[in-house]
Amino acid sequence: MVYYISFILIGIGIYGFLTQKNLFKHLISLTIIDTAINIFIISLGYISGEEAPIYSKYTPIANFVDPLPQALVLTAIVIGVGILALGVSLLIKVYEKYGTLDVEEIVAKEGK
């Protein structure tokens, strides 16, 4: 089931990117896709009944879910944050330059 959720979220993200005219919504679509993929990665490594992959007092011996996807998702999240920050700052400048975030209006102003 979780897989379907992440596939549908990816679909929503792509649909938003293809149809929306507001640039900020493109950024939101990107975030949705990123999140969907992160959910997908995490759920791939899940083994029901097993513990989080940390040796501790309560889990002294290895009975763990797959730790590698979790490590990968950590990297993916951080990269996503970096790109989001960059995108937002670009949008601030786009708005300053064109006075709008609408794709069609920007293209019309570029053409002039």
Partner 1 sequence: MRRFLSALIVLGLIMFFISTLPLIPEFGKASLSKVSRAFIDKDVNGNGGNIQYGVSKDLENGAANVVTSIVVDYRSFDTLGEVTVLFTSALGVGIILSGYKRKKFGREPNFILRVSVGILLPLILLFGAYVFIHGHLTPGGGFPGGTIIAAGILLLYLSNEEFDLSKTVKFVEGISGSLYVIVGLLGLAVSGVFLINFLPTGVVGNLFSSGIVPIIYILIGFKVGAELSGIVAELHREG
Partner 2 sequence: MSALLIAVPLLIAFLFVPLKNKIKYILPFVALFSLILILKLPIEQVNFLGGWKAPFGITLVLDNSSYYSLIVVNIIFFLLSLIPQIIEKDLSLIFLILMASINGLILTGDLFNSFVFLEITSVAAYILSSSKRNYYGAFKYLILGSIAGAFYLLGTLYSYIGTGSLNLADISKNINSEFLAVVPILIFIGLAVETKIFPLAGWVPDVYASGSALTPAILATGVTFSMMYLFGRIFITVFHGEFLNVVYIFGLITVVVAELSALKQDNLLRALSFSSIAQAGLFLSVISMNSYESLTAGYFHLLNDITAKFVLFIIAASIGKSFIKNKTTGIAFSIASFSLIGFPLFAGFRSKLLILKTAFLNQNYILPIILLFATIIEIAYVLRWNIKLWYPDNILPQEKEKTQKLSWNVNLILLIVALVIIVIGFYPDIYLKIAQNIASGLTNYRAYVTNVLGGM
Contact set for partner 2, span 36-95 (CB under 8 A): 37, 40-41, 44, 68-69, 72, 75-76, 79, 82-83, 86-87, 90-91, 93-94
* 31: exposed, middle or buried (Cβ count in 10 Å: 0-12, 13-18, 19+): middle
DSSP class of 22: B
9 lies in the site for partner 2, by CB under 8 A:
no
108 lies in the site for partner 1, by CB under 8 A:
no
Tokens of 18: 């293809």
Q: How far apart are CA 32 and CA 12, in angstroms?
A: 8
14 lies in the site for partner 1, by CB under 8 A:
yes
Q: DSSP H helical segments within 2-22, as ranges?
A: 2-19
User: Which listed range, 8-16, 22-30, 99-107, lies at the site for partner 1 (CB under 8 A)?
Assistant: 8-16
Q: Which is nearer to partner 1, 61 or 111 (CB)?
A: 61
